[in-house]
Every structure is written in C-alpha cells, then in structure tokens.
C-alpha cells in the first residue's frame, strides 16, 4: 500500500485538503495527516481538522509521496517551515512523488523542487515563474511532480494521484464510484 503524507498548517484550504485525503484513502493509499501548527488545525474557512500525528514524528523514508493543499495562509507557513522544506528536499532527492495545489506550488518553488512544467491558482505563477506555467491544464504532471489549480480541480488532482500510485483501473473505478 503506497503511503502519502499531507501536512496541514493553519489557513489551509479545506476542500483541497479533505478531497486529497478522502479520495486517496478511497483509492487504497495510506494517507497520514501531519500537523504543522499543532494537532488541531483550522483552515481558511474556519473548519478545524484533527491531525494523525505531529510533523516532527514523521519518518519520511517510509513515504512514497508528499502532497500540499493550498490556501494562501497555510502555504506561507509551509514555505517558511524548515521542517517541511527539508522534507520536500529529501523527497525530491529520494525520487519520491511530490504534489501541490492552488497556492501551494509556491512552497515547492521555495524548496526548489518543482520541475519545469507546473500549474497553480491563477496569479500565483507571478511569485514562481512564467516559464513552464501551464494555465491550460487543470493538473500538470512533470516527472514525479504533480501540481493543480485550486478548489474546482481538487477531485481531478486527487484522482490523478491515485492513477499515478495505483494504476488505471483503480482510477477508473474510483472516478465512477464518486460520480466525478
């Protein structure tokens, strides 16, 4: 069973985070929700979600992927967290999958782990770079780095993570069962 880490920091975008966790668990991925700003984390729309463990206790060697939800407040914390930035660099060095949606590709840029092609919430590319920005794609896969645009593309993004980690038939079956 592939393992994925989802770090949550105060101000995270709730639909993006919950969609990634929920869809990937439905797709047979073992998802750990890691608290960056405590064990109860409040999202940008005021919804509080419980972490499975604090990020400090995570053994990243056992993970196949790390995926960051968006929300500008949460993204700034993930960009400034030495721990999260160090984990991103180690995952990249180990050839693991890395994902981010909405504003969060900015935190990948800060860690210098983006590949050439990426997408993000429109306007955030101005804080990353224009070269390689793909506004025309809801989800971009460049090597092992997956990025997506925002709330409205979260299901597409999560389903494509399932396809990468679990294969085409898991993807198709799941897509149908959630009416996506």
Position 178 contacts its own copies (CB under 8 A): yes
Q: What angle do CA 17, 20, 24 make, to 5 degrees?
A: 150
25 token code pair: 């668990």
Min dist CB 149 to its own copies, Å, is 5
Position 53 contacts its own copies (CB under 8 A): no
Among 28, 40, 89, 116, binds its own copies (CB under 8 A): 40
What interhelical angle do 14-26 and 168-177 show, nearest 10?
120
Strands (E), the chain: 3-8, 30-35, 40-42, 48-50, 53-54, 65-68, 97-101, 139-142, 145-148
Phi, psi for 23 (deg, rounded to 5): -65, -40
**Which of the stretches 55-63, 86-94, 149-157, 161-169 binds its own copies when contact is defined by CB under 8 A?**
149-157
Nearer residue to its own copies within complex by CB, 20 or 111:
20
Position 14 contacts its own copies (CB under 8 A): yes
Residues 61-80 that bind its own copies (CB under 8 A): none
CA distance from start to end of the chain: 24
Nearer residue to its own copies within complex by CB, 20 or 84:
20
Q: How many amino acids of this chain bind its own copies (CB under 8 A)? A: 30
59 token code pair: 């053994």
Among 5, 18, 65, 68, binds its own copies (CB under 8 A): 18
- For the chain, give me the number of helices (H) and strands (E)? 6, 9
Min dist CB 168 to its own copies, Å, is 19
Residues at the contact surface with its own copies, assessed by CB under 8 A: 13-15, 18-19, 21-23, 25-26, 33, 40, 43, 45-50, 121-122, 149-153, 155, 178-180
């Amino acid at each position: 069973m592939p393992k994925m880490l989802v770090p949550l920091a105060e101000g995270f975008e709730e639909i993006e985070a919950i969609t990634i966790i929920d869809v990937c668990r439905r797709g047979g991925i073992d998802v750990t929700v890691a608290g960056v700003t405590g064990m109860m984390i409040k999202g940008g729309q005021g919804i509080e979600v419980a972490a499975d463990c604090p990020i400090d206790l995570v053994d990243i060697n056992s993970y196949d992927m790390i995926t960051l939800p968006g929300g500008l407040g949460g993204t700034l914390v993930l960009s400034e967290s030495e721990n999260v930035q160090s984990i991103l660099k180690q995952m990249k060095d180990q050839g693991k999958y890395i994902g981010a949606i909405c504003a969060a590709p900015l935190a990948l840029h800060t860690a210098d782990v983006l590949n050439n092609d990426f997408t993000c919430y429109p306007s955030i590319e101005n804080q990353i770079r224009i070269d390689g920005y793909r506004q025309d794609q809801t989800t971009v896969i460049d090597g092992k780095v997956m990025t997506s645009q925002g709330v409205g593309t979260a299901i597409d993004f999560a389903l494509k993570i399932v396809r990468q980690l679990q294969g085409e038939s898991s993807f198709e079956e799941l897509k149908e069962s959630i009416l996506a």
